[in-house]
Amino acid sequence: MKQKKLAIGFIFLFVCLYTYSQKSLSIHEFKITSEDNVEISLFSVTNKDNIEYRPTILLLHGGGGNKELWIDRRETVQDLYNSGYNVVSMDIRGHGKSDPQVKGEFTFPITDLKAVIDWIENNNQFKSGKIGAIGSSYGSNILTAGVVLWDLPIETIVLFSVTAAAKRAINFPQNVRIPPPYKRNKIKSAFFIASDNELERYMADEMAEEFYQQTEPTRRKKRILVGRYHGSSLYSFTKVEVLEWLKKEVW
* Residue 198 belongs to some domain of the structure: yes
Average pLDDT over residues 89-115: 91
* Residue 3 belongs to some domain of the structure: no
Number of domains in the chain: 1
Predicted confidence at residue 62, as pLDDT, reads: 96
Give the domain extent around 225: 25-250
Burial 128-158, CB ≥16 within 10 A → b, else e: ebbbbbbbbbbbbbbbbbbbbbbebebbbbb
* Residue 42 belongs to some domain of the structure: yes
Predicted confidence at residue 9, as pLDDT, reads: 47
* Residue 184 belongs to some domain of the structure: yes
- DSSP-assigned letter for residue 85: -
Structure confidence by residue, pLDDT tens digits, 220-231: 999 999 999 999
* Residue 139 belongs to some domain of the structure: yes
CATH of residue 237: 3.40.50.1820
* Residue 51 belongs to some domain of the structure: yes
pLDDT band at 16 (very low <50, low <70, confident <90, very high): very low
Taking a C-beta distance cutoff of 8 angstroms, is the pair 228, 111 a contact?
no
Alpha-carbon distance of 44 to 89, in angstroms, equals 7
* Residue 72 belongs to some domain of the structure: yes
* Residue 20 belongs to some domain of the structure: no
